[in-house]
């Protein structure tokens, strides 16, 4: 319906992809059985549904939770809809319909929908765009509606979203000229445009994207606290002043500093990833989506520049981003302190952005980063049992950081749920002349390229081994290219087709062009244990190495080691071995090797000794995948291990 004229590749929708994978299937099942069920209960528990009910009942006041709590319901609907897209689940559908009914009943006659403002400050709509998140909630409503419509064909929520979007489009640009403090609606509007074909949504998304960082009203709001909404919330805690933590809204001179909301300059002029990291990711993802949809090449170079700044200067080895707690965001180049904030939602946002950068360019480095983030910075966000979540993902813990069932600000859990429920989106894509295989996750899919259909059946031993088998069958022999991504971590690739070796020299994609009939591709991605070091300007990692194998970053936990984790020094020449441990953490490959630890016997009552009066001895060190940490007894953890350089 829409043209995506800027796209180099088009992803195959998760609804078309059947995942059957040793590593991921159980996680997707747990997400469906546990996480989404649990989150539904939390919607009631946290007062989210009650807020909608109070509005529907015409009540005033009594709002519960965060001022953007509505979005919890929307994100849950979105995740649940992705489940419904894949399987019949009448009980879940009933719950979805119930929540949708509550949402619809809280919509105002003019289309407006926000329970905080309806209950608490009905006269203050759109007065505090910077902090009050009306457009952010609207965006999540739209995404939920699109997901629900695509999953069920039902318009119950889509119509609500359309009414609200139409109303927003009527108001913005005229009555109100400004942009949201928290991006989200931009991407949502483009998705709404895709399902409806209605141009005004695309135009409104473009308005929000182009308007940001120009002469917008965010500064006016921050400097006119008496004239904006939010005062009623928690004693006006949402009205920032120049004493705001770490000067995220204002600089040290009290002057407006738009970086927190990526509003310090227009997107096309931005050089560094700045501010609140989830906001940044949602903005860049939307901009990439706009560039794809409208072939706006002026966005490509700025986005590539921002991507380079992020990946070359401001990203954890796990793919996590945003070190600073105070504003949940980016700080300076090479500030990668290991008590990382690295919010789970920011990892989700980075996956969104990278997927769209791939669609825009067809380059393998983007699915490379999707993979790295999926297996590490993202996956650590949820516990093995699917019921507990990290908001923050430090790379080092003294043992007091643990996942929780829910949060006052519960943005992360439903973001985890909606991503896992739609994981199939990231596996395959359609190019002009063939099919991209981006993620090595066991699955099957039918793809039509230029009218010709092929069926792909993938079996993968990732992340534990690098063996991948791909069956390609066509109803009738069909010539097209199969592009196999060569992961950045892989130094040696071997590819055979029907047992015959093919040339696989590539850093990006191995292209297999041939007439496919009923063929078997075998891909062998060498996985070796690598000791990675960080750039010399990363102070936090000076003298440290991180263990990486295939797509997995490893960490050392107290649970597997006799000494406190900080006592180990892993020499650069120490032999490291891997061990497949079915008994451990649901089955993992560990990395083990000898390390130096201080000999304790010299130490009596002394607190300090000359180095020559002390010694070291050898102790075995065991590392486990980072995503699996904090699933056992509480203890210390570190990714970056001390080494002798």
Query: Which residues are marked as active site?
Result: 328, 411
The residue among 337 and 514 lying less far from a copy of itself, judged by its C-beta, is: 337
What is the rounded CA–CA span in Å between residue 468 and residue 433?
Answer: 23
CB 132 within 8 A of CB 148: no
Distances (CA, A) of 297 to 214, 268, 477: 20, 11, 37
Q: In the numeric block, which tokens belong to residue 364? A: 């393998």
Work out how close the CB of 575 gets to a copy of itself at its nearest, in angstroms, rounded to a whole number. 14
Across 204-227, b (16+ Cβ under 10 Å) vs e yields bbbbbbbbbbeebbbbebbeeeee
Cβ atoms 194, 175 nearer than 8 A: no
Nearest distance, CB of residue 446 and a copy of itself, angstroms? 38
Element (H, E) at 594: strand 588-598
Q: How far is the CB of 445 from a copy of itself (least distance, A)?
A: 32
Residue 277 to residue 335: CA distance in whole angstroms: 14
Decide: 626 and 305 in contact? Cβ < 8 Å.
no
Residue 25 or 528: which CB sits closer to a copy of itself?
A: 528
What's the closest the beta carbon of residue 542 comes to a copy of itself, in angstroms?
5
What would you report as the CA-atom Rg of the chain, rounded to the nearest whole angstrom? 25
The nearer residue to a copy of itself, 227 or 566, going by C-beta atoms, is 566
Q: Which is nearer to a copy of itself, 228 or 545 (CB)?
A: 545
Q: How far is the CB of 567 from a copy of itself (least distance, A)?
A: 6
Q: Is 332 left (phi over 0), alpha (psi -120 to 50) or beta?
A: beta
On whether the CB atoms of residues 119 and 49 are closer than 8 A, the answer is no
In angstroms, the CA 186 to CA 209 distance is 7
The answer to whether 118 and 103 have CB atoms below 8 angstroms apart is: no
- Alpha-carbon distance of 177 to 133, in angstroms, equals 16
Complex with a copy of itself: residue 603 or 620, whichever CB lies closer: 603
Of 36 and 565, CB closest to a copy of itself:
565
CB-nearer residue toward a copy of itself: 230 or 466: 466
The 3-class SS string of 285-332 reads HHHHHHHHHHCCHHHHHHHHHHHHHHHHHCECCCCCECCECCCCECCC
Taking residue 243's Cβ as centre, other Cβ atoms within 10 Å add up to: 9
Nearest CB to a copy of itself, comparing residues 332 and 385: 332
Total residue length of the chain: 645
User: Residue 307 Cβ, how far from a copy of itself at the closest point, in Å?
Assistant: 12
**CA separation for the pair 236, 212 (Å, rounded):** 25
What are 256's strand-pairing partners?
Answer: 250
Q: Which is nearer to a copy of itself, 84 or 545 (CB)?
A: 545
Q: Are residues 271 and 264 in contact, defined by beta-carbon separation less than 8 angstroms?
A: no
The three-state DSSP-derived secondary structure of 238-260 is CCCCCCCHHHCCECCCCCECHHH
Q: Using CB under 8 A as the criterion, which residues of the chain lie in contact with a copy of itself when the complex forms? A: 308, 311-313, 315, 317, 398, 530-539, 542-543, 545-546, 564, 566-567, 569, 572, 596-598, 600, 603, 605-612, 614, 616, 642-645
Looking at the Cβ atoms of 450 and 617, the one nearer to a copy of itself is 617
CB 82 within 8 A of CB 144: no
CA dist 642 and 223 (Å) reads 47
The residues pairing with 436 across neighbouring beta strands, listed in sequence order, are 429, 483
């Amino acid at each position: 319906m829409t043209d995506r004229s800027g796209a180099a590749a088009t992803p195959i929708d998760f609804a078309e992809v059947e995942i059957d994978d040793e590593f991921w299937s159980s996680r997707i099942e747990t997400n469906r059985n546990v996480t989404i069920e649990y989150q539904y209960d939390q919607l009631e528990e946290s007062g989210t549904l009650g807020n909608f009910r109070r509005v529907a009942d015409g009540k005033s006041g009594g709002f519960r939770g965060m001022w953007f709590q509505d979005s919890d319901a929307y994100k849950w609907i979105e995740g649940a809809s992705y489940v419904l897209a894949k399987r019949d689940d009448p009980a879940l559908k009933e719950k979805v319909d119930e929540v949708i009914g509550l949402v619809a009943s809280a919509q105002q006659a003019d289309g407006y929908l926000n329970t905080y403002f309806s209950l608490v400050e009905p006269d203050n709509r759109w007065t505090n765009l910077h902090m009050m998140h009306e457009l952010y909630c609207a965006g999540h409503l739209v995404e939920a509606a699109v997901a629900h419509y695509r999953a069920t064909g039902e318009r119950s929520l889509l119509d609500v979203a359309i009414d609200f979007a139409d109303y927003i489009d009527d108001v913005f640009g005229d009555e109100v000229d400004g942009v949201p403090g928290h991006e989200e609606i931009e991407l949502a509007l483009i998705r709404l445009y895709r399902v409806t074909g209605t141009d005004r949504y695309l135009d409104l998304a473009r308005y929000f994207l182009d308007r940001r960082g120009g002469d917008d009203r965010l500064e006016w709001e921050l400097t006119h606290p008496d004239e904006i909404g939010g005062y009623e919330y928690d004693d006006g805690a949402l009205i920032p002043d120049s004493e705001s933590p770490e000067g995220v809204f204002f600089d040290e001179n009290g002057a407006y500093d738009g970086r927190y909301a990526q509003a310090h300059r227009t997107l096309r002029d931005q050089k560094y990833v700045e501010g609140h990291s989830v906001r940044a990711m949602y903005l860049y993802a939307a901009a990439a989506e706009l560039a794809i949809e409208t072939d706006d090449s002026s966005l490509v170079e700025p986005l590539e520049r921002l991507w380079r700044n992020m990946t070359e200067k401001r990203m954890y080895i796990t793919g996590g981003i945003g070190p600073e707690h105070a504003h949940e965001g980016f700080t300076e180049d090479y500030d990668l302190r290991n008590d990382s904030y690295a919010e789970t939602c920011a990892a989700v946002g980075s996956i969104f952005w990278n997927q769209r950068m791939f669609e825009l360019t067809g380059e393998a480095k983007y699915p490379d980063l999707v993979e790295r983030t999926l297996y590490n910075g993202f996956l650590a966000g949820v516990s093995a049992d699917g019921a507990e979540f990290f908001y923050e993902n430090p790379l080092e813990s003294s043992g007091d950081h643990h996942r929780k069932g829910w949060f006052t600000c519960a943005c992360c859990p439903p973001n985890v749920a909606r991503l896992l429920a739609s994981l199939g989106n990231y596996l395959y894509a359609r190019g002009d002349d063939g099919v991209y295989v981006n993620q090595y996750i066991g699955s099957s899919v039918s793809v039509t390229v230029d009218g010709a259909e092929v069926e792909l059946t993938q079996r993968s031993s990732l992340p534990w081994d690098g063996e991948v088998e791909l069956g390609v069958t066509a109803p009738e022999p069909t010539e097209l290219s199969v592009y196999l991504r060569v992961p950045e971590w892989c130094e040696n690739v071997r590819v055979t087709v029907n047992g015959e070796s093919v040339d696989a020299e590539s850093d990006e994609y191995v292209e297999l062009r041939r007439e496919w009939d009923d063929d078997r591709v075998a891909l062998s991605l060498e996985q070796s244990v690598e000791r990675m070091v960080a750039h010399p300007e990363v102070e936090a990692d000076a003298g440290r190495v991180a263990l990486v194998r295939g797509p997995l970053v490893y960490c050392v936990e107290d649970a597997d080691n006799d000494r406190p984790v900080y006592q180990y020094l892993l020499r650069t020449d120490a032999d490291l071995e891997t061990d497949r441990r079915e008994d451990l953490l649901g089955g993992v490959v560990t990395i083990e090797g000898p390390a130096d630890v201080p000999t304790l016997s010299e130490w009596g009552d002394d607190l300090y000794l000359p180095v020559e009066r002390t010694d070291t001895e050898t102790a075995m060190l065991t590392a486990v995948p980072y995503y699996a940490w904090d699933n056992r007894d509480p203890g210390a953890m570190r990714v970056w291990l001390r080494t002798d350089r």
